[in-house]
């Protein structure tokens, strides 16, 4: 199980970083389940014709989940299992899908990466004991799917402020990309968790778009820059 996060103010590059990681990871055979609230993960813009520039002219294999079923209906998982077994896919869950429902399907199917570019709406302290992501964090390397077969599950997520995230998510993270961030509580959380050194705080407040610090659970902190669109 791995957890990779991208943190930063709007427009700094965190969502684009996730899309770069997802595109590259899907080419390696991984499958991603992505709540797509604003249509930013589609291969075209809203006109249905213009290529989405966020994929840099090289979109992954994008599939669309069927509409959500009635709450009382038993979810049909066979389609998702087939996608998982085939590999190399990014499955988008557009409105009216809710992130919690997508995470629950990812848990049942197993062997996929749950990716949410607004993960601070789901990975919160409220109702954490009933949150599918809690099992991802604590049992992600050996989490049984709906058929009882242990499979690995992973989390990719982006958020503006780490203090909105449950500490299970941040404390168990493997990598965190820190783009430009604001607010004393945000910066304090990052310093307290060892993701930034105190001397890096002024730079973290003022970094240009697409520039970031990369913290790894092994302890090192390096600098990086995303390729611009």
Per-residue pLDDT of the chain (229 residues; tens, 9 = 90+): 799 999 999 999 999 999 999 999 999 999 999 999 999 999 999 999 999 999 999 999 999 999 887 654 445 899 999 999 999 999 999 999 999 999 999 999 999 999 999 999 999 999 899 999 999 999 878 899 999 999 999 999 999 999 989 999 999 999 999 999 999 999 999 999 999 999 999 999 999 999 999 999 999 999 999 998 8
* Both structure tokens of 2: 């791995």
* Domain parsing of the chain, residue ranges: 3-225
Predicted pLDDT of residue 71: 53
Predicted pLDDT of residue 198: 96
pTM of this prediction exceeds 0.85: yes
Predicted pLDDT of residue 229: 83
Instruction: Give every CB contact of residue 55 below 8 A, 6+ residues apart in sequence.
Output: 19, 23, 43
Predicted pLDDT of residue 72: 47
Instruction: Give every CB contact of residue 18 below 8 A, 6+ residues apart in sequence.
Output: 6, 115, 117, 156, 157, 158
φ, ψ of residue 215 to 5 degrees: the values are -100, 135
Rounded CA-CA distance 27/22 in Å is 9
The CATH number of domain 3-225, selected from 3.40.50.300, 3.10.20.90, 3.40.920.10, 3.40.50.2300? 3.40.50.300
């Amino acid at each position: 199980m791995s957890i990779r996060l991208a943190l930063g103010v709007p427009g700094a590059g965190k969502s684009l970083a996730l899309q770069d990681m997802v595109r590259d990871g899907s080419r390696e055979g991984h499958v991603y389940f992505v709540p797509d609230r604003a249509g930013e993960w589609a291969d075209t813009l809203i006109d249905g014709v213009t290529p989405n520039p966020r994929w840099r002219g090289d979109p992954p294999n994008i599939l669309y989940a069927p509409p959500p079923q009635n709450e009382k209906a038993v979810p049909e998982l066979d389609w998702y299992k087939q996608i998982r077994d085939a590999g190399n896919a990014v499955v988008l869950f557009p409105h009216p899908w809710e992130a919690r429902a997508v995470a629950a399907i990812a848990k049942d199917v197993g062997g996929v990466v749950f990716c949410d570019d607004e993960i601070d709406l789901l990975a919160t302290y409220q109702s954490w004991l009933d949150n599918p992501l809690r099992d991802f964090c604590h049992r992600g390397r050996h989490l049984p799917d709906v058929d009882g077969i242990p499979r690995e599950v992973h989390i990719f997520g982006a958020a503006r402020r780490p203090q909105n995230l449950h500490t299970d998510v941040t404390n168990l993270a493997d990598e965190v990309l820190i783009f430009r961030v604001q607010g004393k509580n945000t910066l304090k959380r990052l310093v307290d968790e060892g993701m930034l050194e105190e001397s890096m705080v002024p730079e973290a407040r003022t970094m240009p778009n697409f520039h970031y610090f990369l913290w790894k659970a092994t302890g090192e902190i390096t600098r990086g820059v995303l390729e611009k669109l």
